[in-house]
């Protein structure tokens, strides 16, 4: 049992692995990709978490519940990454994971996504105070939300330290800049479909890595794909905006 736990979480305490990741430009490119995807895919999640806190009567309690939820999210992300790093080596898990990611893309573009939310009761039925009930619900939603992110991240890089750093920064960014990202997606609506196109590429990358096919797309290449996708998305947005403005001027004249 101890050996199994050591195999799962030992890499997180490997100082050589940490120093290699921190000093590697390619690894930071991958981490940037993970943070970008985490932020783009987690806006709805951040809205749900913020809505959960509205059951609390004061701003202090709402901020405090999100603070506890943040540290709980870090702990659960650490645990899930450890298990995921072990399971992702089984080709059956890779097939299931890739099919699940393809399903997420399919449901998004079919406009049949299930809105994941949680109804808050006016008072706790578990005997806990309202504050701790909200905190527990935030933690539960963090676990649900992290499954997609961890699976996608491990498909990009099998290094648990890279996935952990990307996840930690992504969670913090998601908490801090959710409102900014939401406003940005309103201004540039093409960002959201771009994120799901990237998820489709991640699913393909994961599926191609099974032993029967054995085609490995380097994580650094995927990092460049993310940067290229963002640039292309911005170009498409401004081209569309320019054409729309041109049509409006033509209609006015």
Residue 42 lies in a domain: yes
The answer on pLDDT for 232 being more than 90 is yes
Q: What's the pLDDT at 248?
A: 81
Q: What's the pLDDT at 177?
A: 58
Degrees (nearest 5) of the Cα angle 162, 163, 164?
A: 90
- For residue 94, give Cα distances in angstroms to 90, 183, 202: 7, 35, 11
Q: What residue numbers bound the domain in which 70 lies?
A: 15-252
Q: What are the phi and psi torsion angles at 77 (to 5°)?
A: -65, -40
Residue 6 lies in a domain: no
Please provide the DSSP assignment of 133-161 as one string.
HHHHHHHHHHHHHHHHHHHHHHHH---HH
Mean pLDDT of 110-122: 48
Mean pLDDT of 216-220: 73
- How many other C-beta atoms are found inside a 10 Å radius of the C-beta of residue 34? 26
Which of the given ranges, 8-12, 96-100, 218-222, has the highest pLDDT on average? 96-100
Mean pLDDT of 192-212: 83
Q: What's the pLDDT at 4?
A: 67
At residue 126 the predicted structure's pLDDT band, cuts being 50, 70 and 90, is low
- How many other C-beta atoms are found inside a 10 Å radius of the C-beta of residue 76? 18
Confidence (pTM): 0.61
The answer on pLDDT for 34 being more than 80 is yes
Share of the chain above pLDDT 90, in %: 4
| Tally of domains within the chain | 1
Between 53 and 225, residue with greater pLDDT? 225
Residue 101's Cβ-count burial label (10 Å; 0-12, 13-18, 19+) is buried
The answer on pLDDT for 117 being more than 50 is no
Share of the chain above pLDDT 70, in %: 76
Lowest mean pLDDT among 2-11, 44-53, 98-107, 128-137: 44-53
Residue 71's Cβ-count burial label (10 Å; 0-12, 13-18, 19+) is exposed
Kindly state the DSSP code that residue 120 receives in the 8-state scheme: P
The answer on pLDDT for 201 being more than 90 is no
Residue 7 lies in a domain: no
Q: What's the pLDDT at 239?
A: 92
Q: What's the pLDDT at 235?
A: 94
Residue 1 lies in a domain: no
The answer on pLDDT for 116 being more than 50 is no
At residue 236 the predicted structure's pLDDT band, cuts being 50, 70 and 90, is very high
Are 47 and 178 spatial neighbours (Cβ–Cβ below 8 Å)? yes
Residue 5 lies in a domain: no
Mean pLDDT of 60-87: 78
Residue 2 lies in a domain: no
Question: According to DSSP H, which parts of the chain are helical?
Answer: 2-9, 15-22, 25-41, 43-53, 59-87, 91-109, 130-156, 160-187, 191-208, 219-252
Rounded to an integer, what distance in angstroms lies between the CA atom of residue 24 and that of residue 172?
A: 22
- For residue 86, give Cα distances in angstroms to 10, 80, 167, 213, 229: 11, 10, 17, 21, 30
Rounded to an integer, what distance in angstroms lies between the CA atom of residue 237 and that of residue 252?
A: 22
The answer on pLDDT for 123 being more than 50 is no
Mean pLDDT of 21-48: 77
The answer on pLDDT for 32 being more than 80 is yes
């Amino acid at each position: 049992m101890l050996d199994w736990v050591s195999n799962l979480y030992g890499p997180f305490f490997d100082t050589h692995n940490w120093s290699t990741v921190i000093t590697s430009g390619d690894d930071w490119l991958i981490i940037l990709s993970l943070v970008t995807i985490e932020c783009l895919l987690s806006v709805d999640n951040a809205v749900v978490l913020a809505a959960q806190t509205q059951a609390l009567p004061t701003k202090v309690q709402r901020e405090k519940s999100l603070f506890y939820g943040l540290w709980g999210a870090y702990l659960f992300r650490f645990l899930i990454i450890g298990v995921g790093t072990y399971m992702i080596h089984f080709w059956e898990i890779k097939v299931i994971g890739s099919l699940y990611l393809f399903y997420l893309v399919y449901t998004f573009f079919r406009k049949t996504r299930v809105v994941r939310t949680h109804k808050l009761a006016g008072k706790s039925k578990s005997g806990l105070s309202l504050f701790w009930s909200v905190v527990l619900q935030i933690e539960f939603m963090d676990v649900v939300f992290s499954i997609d992110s961890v699976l996608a991240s491990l498909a990009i890089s099998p290094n648990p330290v890279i996935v952990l750093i990307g996840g930690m920064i992504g969670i913090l960014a998601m908490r801090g800049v959710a409102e900014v990202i939401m406003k940005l997606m309103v201004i540039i609506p093409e960002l959201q479909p771009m994120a799901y196109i990237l998820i489709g590429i991640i699913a393909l990358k994961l599926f191609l890595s099974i032993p029967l096919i054995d085609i490995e797309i380097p994580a650094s290449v995927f990092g460049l794909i993310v940067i290229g996708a963002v640039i292309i998305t911005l170009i498409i947005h401004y081209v569309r905006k320019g054409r729309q403005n041109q049509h409006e001027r033509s209609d006015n004249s």
